[in-house]
Amino acid sequence: MWQKTLDRVLRSLISNGALRVTYPDGTVRVYGNGTEPAPEIRIKDKALLARLCRNPELAFGEGYMDGAITTGDSTLEGVMRVTIRNVAQGNFPAVYYWKDRVHYLLRPILQRNTLRLARRNVAHHYDLSDDFYRLMLDEDMQYSCAYFATPDLTLDQAQAAKKAHIARKLYLKPGLRVLDIGCGWGGLALTLARDHGVKVTGLTLSQNQHDAATERAARAGLQDRVEIRLQDYRELEGEFDRVVSVGMLEHVGAPHYGEFFGKVASLLKPDGVALIHTIGRNGPPTNQSPWLKKYIFPGGYVPSLSELVEPIAHTGLWHLDIESLRLHYAMTLRCWLERFDENLDQIREMYDDRFIRMWRFYLTICMLVFEERDQTVFQLQLGHRRDAVPLTRNYLYAADGQMRDAAE
């Protein structure tokens, strides 16, 4: 019964390109229009068929993690590109969209983000071994979208260019006080303090990142200009000349956007500048992936721009600039995936094969949603005053080649 049901679902879903499926009983079906070679999946566990029908996205990810779904001679990227491209075209049977609608209406409950939950969710992902992240990330441990000012930049250069781009948008001057909400391993805080002469307070909820960033500041001799706190932004008081947040808004949750931007406004001085860098959707609001929510980013949610504009409007802050970094994160994720694969032998000494399949699935699907669906990265430049920064973008792009010089 479940095999026939899944067969009907796939016949409805796959219309662009092709997908070859080998079922547990050995039956082989090819779905789609056959206009290109069909990547293959092999379903080895009969019990998985029912789960694939009930919750296809979650079950597919779990099946791949557990080895119950393999890709034969194909690549995971090839299989998922066909699948994601067809989902993006709206080819799923209507019942799945009604289920999504119910989950969307339950967001105030499902995305509740108390102080305790926030700490637990952050620890789930960011308190993995630093040695593992070093094998995948750039030298500065930037775990967010890089900025490929020119396509030929290396990952390290593109991450340096990202920090330089953010620094220009913050319109820094020596001696200013900067707040970094969600400072990670401290790379941006250290760069701003070292290269621009500012004093930075970094906030993180990860004990691992707090300890590493504090140690890095001391090792760089910047402990008098960089303070890393293990603290939720909601607990902070004071005023800052600049506020920056890179890759943290994705953990806030839609019901808390008003609270987040209200806090940014209250912490920002009247003539200050804030820069919020976040993954976003170039489309209407929807739900977070159930697989990503369960295994990678519990409590995570990627906002649409429309969900951010209204809570910002209630703070009275001006939109000084909004930039969409469209394919930069896809390029970043491809670099991470390549480094992940290059260092598999060392990763296997730390984690088992199920973890490795989980992480490859995570990096692959995230890369593809930037290439095939509506995901982008927004940089929102905000201020209380409309003239907090120059009235044109010329100050961001001075001389030709400056971006490359900053990266190098």
pLDDT at 105: 62
Final residue belonging to a domain, choices 54, 71, 105:
105
**351 to 21, 121, 241, 345: CA distances (angstroms):** 30, 20, 43, 10
Asked if residue 78 and residue 153 are part of one domain, the reply reads no
Asked if residue 137 and residue 85 are part of one domain, the reply reads no
pLDDT at 103: 64
Distance CA 247, CA 183 (A): 9
Asked if residue 303 and residue 361 are part of one domain, the reply reads yes
Number of domains in the chain: 2
Asked if residue 166 and residue 91 are part of one domain, the reply reads no
Structural domain including 84 reads: 2-105
pTM of the shown model: 0.91
pLDDT at 400: 43
Residue 182 domain-assigned (yes or no): yes
Asked if residue 146 and residue 100 are part of one domain, the reply reads no
pLDDT at 127: 63
The two tokens of residue 58 are 């979650």
Asked if residue 231 and residue 284 are part of one domain, the reply reads yes
Residue 29 burial (C-beta neighbours within 10 Å; 0-12, 13-18, 19+):
middle
Residue 110 domain-assigned (yes or no): no
Final residue belonging to a domain, choices 60, 85, 105:
105
Which residues contact residue 244 at a Cβ distance below 8 angstroms, ignoring those fewer than 6 apart?
Answer: 166, 170, 178, 179, 180, 181, 188, 192, 274, 275, 276, 277
CATH of the domain at 329: 3.40.50.150
Task: Decide if 366 is catalytic.
Answer: yes
Residue 159 domain-assigned (yes or no): yes
In the set 53, 145, 335, 366, the catalytic residue is 366
Nearest of 371, 364, 355 to residue 336 by alpha carbon: 364
Nearest of 159, 203, 208, 213 to residue 179 by alpha carbon: 203
The helix (H) or strand (E) run that includes residue 367 is: helix 353-372
Asked if residue 81 and residue 228 are part of one domain, the reply reads no
Category of 258 on φ-ψ map: left (φ > 0), alpha (ψ -120 to 50) or beta: alpha
pLDDT at 125: 62
Asked if residue 244 and residue 224 are part of one domain, the reply reads yes
pLDDT at 117: 65
Distance CA 131, CA 337 (A): 16
Final residue belonging to a domain, choices 65, 86, 105:
105
pLDDT at 67: 95
Cβ atoms of 175 and 198 closer than 8 Å: yes
Mean pLDDT by 10 residues, the chain (408 residues): 89 90 94 85 94 91 96 94 88 65 64 67 68 95 95 96 97 97 97 97 94 96 97 95 96 92 98 98 88 86 94 97 97 98 96 95 97 96 97 79 50
